[in-house]
Amino acid sequence: MPHFSRCAALLLGVGLSVGALVPALAQTKTPKYSNEFLNIGVGGRALGMGKVQVSLADDATAGYWNPAGLASQKTKYDAALMHSELFSGIVKNDYAAFSLKLDDKSAIGASVVRLGVDDIADTRALVNEYGYINYDNIRYFSVADYAVLLSYARQLGSIEGLQVGANAKVIYRNIGSFANAWGFGVDAGVQYQRNNWRLALMARDITTTYNAWTIHPEEFEGSANALDPLPKNSTEITLPLFVLGASRLVQLPGEFTALGALDLELSTDGQRNTLLSSKAVSLDPRAGLELGYKQLVYLRGGVGNAQQVQSFTGKEQWKVQPSLGVGLALSGLRLDMALSRMAVEKLGQQSQPTSIIVSLGYGFK
């Protein structure tokens, strides 16, 4: 297994180098969870497995999870669609992707992500100058985040099973007509496959992503509290985030298969509420399992997002976010559904509302 040992050492070395660099990056004054809408996840398969995907993605969704996976695409063309609703339908999460194999070693792809809240009522003009309520004066606006990712992947001939990829991404965020921002960034990924093992490293915002916000002060006229200072144009910085992944496929009796995967997410934007955290870096592990039958029907489960939560009584306890999913693959068509529970603090008690995610994929020549 010389190639496997060499690539494992390569990925580990890159990971250690990242660990040495990120403390300096974390000292920069940047907000935590910047562009966090890109970390929610896409695809019923991935979300059913607890977002464990950087070593597994090998279809159009790889443009989001790890662009290097596009080089393993099994068909000439592949497409994916997803729609999910969070918090009882208030937040809409939509995703679409398309990828194309250029030849036996390279592929390209494009992905679009939107997360938004629509039909927000602006009631500042609800009461007219005579003191009467006029519902016709209510205006509605949306708050939404958009991202377009353009991906390229290629298999490297120097080491069998090794492939690399990168994303160039454009981000647009808007708060109605009040403010908007444009951002640009680059992601990079590596995947290595040997027999039934897969190793991967994904580096998001590796160049640091900058969102330039533009405020439209004229839109704030008539605000209820005119004493509050208006926000000013500013730049929001997103520091790099790294994900190390490993997975293994096991053949079971009776045409059953078991696929186990583990991801370690390393954020560099300050101390987060994760299993292991510090002021420099925070580590969030995730695990997922997929059971398959004849490569036709799949049952999935995952766990991640471990957080220490304080109850109403002041007692702290660890909570995790579980997920379940099912999938059907037939003649190039993939239908996946996931159930994910998000821990929410409500009136001092832990509640876990369930989100239903449905995605559709199709690979064809």
Does residue 177 form part of some domain? yes
Instruction: Work out the pLDDT band at 365, boundaries 50, 70, 90.
Output: confident
Q: What is the pLDDT of residue 343?
A: 43
Residue 338 lies in a domain: no
The answer to the question of residue 299 being in a domain is: no
Q: Is residue 212 scored above 70 in pLDDT?
A: yes
The answer to whether residue 297 sits within a structural domain is no
Residues with Cβ < 8 Å from 308, sequence gap 6 or more? 273, 316, 317, 318, 319
Tell which residue, 207, 238, 237, 243, has the closest CA to residue 65. Answer: 243
Residue 261 lies in a domain: yes
Give the least confident one: 85-94, 142-151, 197-206, 298-307. Answer: 85-94
DSSP 76: S
In the prediction, which pLDDT does 7 show?
44
> Could you tell me if residue 294 is inside a domain?
no
Count: domains in the chain: 1
Residue 5 binned pLDDT confidence (cut-offs 50, 70, 90)? very low
Instruction: Determine the pLDDT at residue 68.
Output: 96
CA–centroid distance for 292 within its chain: 24
Q: Report how far residue 52's alpha carbon sits from residue 61's, in angstroms, rounded to the nearest whole number.
A: 13
Q: Of the given ranges (39-48, 64-73, 353-362), which has the lowest mean pLDDT?
A: 353-362
Lowest mean pLDDT among 162-171, 184-193, 353-362: 353-362
Specify the range with the lowest mean pLDDT, choosing from 24-33, 193-202, 233-242. Answer: 24-33
Angstrom distance (rounded) from CA 222 to CA 217? 11
Mean local confidence (pLDDT), 196-200: 95
What value does the mean pLDDT take over residues 34-42? Answer: 91
Element (H, E) at 12: helix 2-26
H helix intervals, 299-343: none
Whether residue 45 lies inside any domain: the answer is: yes
pTM of the model: 0.84
Residue ranges making up the domain that contains 102: 2-289
Averaged pLDDT for residues 104-118: 95
The whole-number pLDDT of residue 24 equals: 37
Query: Does the pLDDT value for residue 313 go beyond 80?
Result: no
Q: Is residue 341 part of a domain?
A: no
Q: Of the ranges 11-25, 27-41, 245-259, 339-353, which is most confident?
A: 245-259
Lowest mean pLDDT among 122-136, 214-228, 267-281: 214-228
Q: What is the largest CA-CA distance in the chain?
A: 82
Residue 84 has pLDDT above 60, yes or no: yes
